[in-house]
Structure 1
Amino acid sequence: MTDYVTSADGTRIGFDRVGSGPPVVLVGGAMQFRAFDPSTTEMAGHLASHGFEVVNYDRRGRGDSPAESPITLAQTLEDLCGLIDELTEGADDAVALFGNSSGATIALAAAAAGLPVSKLVLFEAPLDVELGTEGAEYLGALRTALADGGSEAGIELYMADMPPEWLAGLKSSGAWPMVSAIGPSLEPDAESLAWTQSAPRRELWAGITQPTLVLVGTETMDFMEAAADSLVANLPHAEKRAIAASDHRWEPRTLALVIAEFLVG
């Protein structure tokens, strides 16, 4: 059954909680939410079996967390604050964050903003080059698409560089009415990626002192390897590890074990 926490502005954030032990919050990427992402739900169960309390939540503007647009990165971090308070009951305890894809850059932004984070696990953060302009340009294009064409236009822009049959297949599927509504929620993903290029990364991430595991698939794109190397080079306490994964996708049981080993260690 879905649980809810109320964010600072009154928005209700829906989440599932499974297991008991040290808390871990799963921060989804651009198109992830519980009703559309069974792999993360499965992974949460496996991670919980290793002795953790795992929260898998619908980010603002998705699934059981409906919200008015525009949706900002600052609001997304407030939502995470609410979840952390719920898990720690206002204590000084911290939670671990697992960020997938652009969810990894949101998790980084949370740590940089001073949220009580104990450790970070980041899977294939899709960073462009340091101090580049790609992130800011995409953020501007997304905001224009959402303003001019609404939510569906935001989804179409996000998928513009993917094989066209992917978007066509999604539009012809029964999931399209549900997925086509989440366009505004892509803005925090774009905003967090633009943030990673907004200043020298060593300076931008100097305050992120938490132990950090940077993951890449054994079969991945070259720019994902470069992004992982940039994270390790510029975060004070980060290590890189390759796991069996391909095409920006992981196997739930394998990933859960890797996360558990790092968090326990």
Structure 2
Amino acid sequence: MTSADGTPIGYDQLSSDGPAVVLVGGGLDDGTENIPLADHLIHGFAVVNYRRRGRGDSGDTQPYSVQREIEDLAAVINAAGGRAHVFGASSGGALALEAAAAGLPIDRIAVHEVPYLIDEFLLTAWRKYRVELAAALEAGDPDEALRLFMRLAGSSEEGIAAAETAPVWTALRALAPTLRYDAACLGNGRPPAERLAAVTQPVLLTTGVTGDPHSAGLPIDFYTAAADAVAELLPDARRTTIEVAGHIADPAVVGPILAGFYTD
């Protein structure tokens, strides 16, 4: 389908029975990361999974703005029937919350480990990252952009070097320009208090009980501290800690939790 600015946005209607649920991917996701989760929701929900702009078969009309990404999600919700529940992973959760604050026809919102920053040291690192990321992308250096992102996310230099030799690195290089889009969705890094206060829908915030071994450089409570801070700012928030290992939640665990929340 086509977004408001004419950008083609690719999506898959994975099921058609029940309330609509739209899945929003996070950083460096070409639209495939949420497919295993969709498999746990298709019996009871009309699940739509889409590729955010600049990813997969979706277009990438310039200049980028968060408002255009919100318009993309609005077009997907319209294609899904006009209203939908939404699930957003990581920075996709930040986009989902921004869309709800902007007044999109969203019923219930679930987000997993949105990487807002609370600690002042990390906020300083975030500001530095955004400057260096822009410089790397403007210089046409996707490899450096990916390295910058991995360092920010707590990866070790050994882990980064290993990733560069992995077959997936080529696909990640193609997605590197979208790192700037994810950064824009997170703004100055802090939870956006005024906009979160405008989100009147019920919001479920999930975090894992264990840290991601690929992000060992982050504080152990990085995601839980962010989710707790966001919950304090939302009018109708629910917090759940789930038994998952790593930043990408186990769909077999998260799926039933989401199904219960969307039908509560």
TM > 0.5: yes
Tell me the CA shift for residue 72 of structure 1. 2.8
Q: Deviations over 1:175-203 (max 9, x none)?
A: 3332211112112211121255385x1x3
Aligned match of 2:38 in 37, 44, 59?
A: 44
Q: Give 5+ residue unaligned stretches, structure 1.
A: none
Q: Deviations over 1:70-96 (max 9, x none)?
A: 5332221111111011112xxxx4211
Structure 1, 112-121 or 173-182: larger mean CA deviation: 173-182
Aligned match of 2:47 in 48, 54, 74?
A: 54
2:11 and 2:49 in contact (8 A); partners too: yes
Aligned match of 2:92 in 92, 100, 103?
A: 103
- Is 1:17 the counterpart of 2:9 in the alignment? no
Partner AA of 1:127 in structure 2:
Y
Q: Give 5+ residue unaligned stretches, structure 2.
A: 212-219
1:105 and 1:196 in contact (8 A); partners too: no
| Residue of structure 1 equivalent to 2:78 | 85
- C-alpha distance in structure 1 between counterparts of 2:64 and 2:249, whole Å: 28
- C-alpha distance in structure 2 between counterparts of 1:237 and 1:128, whole Å: 21
TM-score, normalising length: structure 1: 0.86
Aligned match of 1:156 in 115, 139, 147?
A: 147
2:244 and 2:253 in contact (8 A); partners too: no
| Residue of structure 2 equivalent to 1:215 | 206
- C-alpha distance in structure 1 between counterparts of 2:155 and 2:254, whole Å: 25
C-alpha spacing 1:196/1:119, structure 2 compared with 1 (3 Å) = farther
| Residue of structure 1 equivalent to 2:182 | 189
- C-alpha distance in structure 1 between counterparts of 2:47 and 2:78, whole Å: 14
Task: Among all aligned residue pairs of Structure 1 and Structure 2, give the percentage whose two residues are the same amino acid.
Answer: 37
Higher strand share: 1
Tell me the CA shift for residue 236 of structure 1. 0.3
Partner AA of 1:15 in structure 2:
Y
- SS of the residue corresponding to residue 40 of structure 2 reads helix
Partner AA of 1:29 in structure 2:
G
1:7 and 1:13 in contact (8 A); partners too: yes
| Residue of structure 2 equivalent to 1:230 | 229
Q: How many residues align?
A: 251
TM-score, normalising length: structure 2: 0.86
C-alpha spacing 1:249/1:17, structure 2 compared with 1 (3 Å) = same
2:191 and 2:229 in contact (8 A); partners too: no
| Residue of structure 2 equivalent to 1:27 | 24
| Residue of structure 2 equivalent to 1:140 | 131
- Is 1:7 the counterpart of 2:6 in the alignment? no
Aligned match of 1:121 in 110, 119, 140?
A: 110
- C-alpha distance in structure 1 between counterparts of 2:124 and 2:79, whole Å: 37
Tell me the CA shift for residue 24 of structure 1. 0.9
2:129 and 2:148 in contact (8 A); partners too: no
Structure 1, 183-192 or 156-165: larger mean CA deviation: 156-165
- C-alpha distance in structure 2 between counterparts of 1:68 and 1:236, whole Å: 35
- C-alpha distance in structure 2 between counterparts of 1:178 and 1:261, whole Å: 35
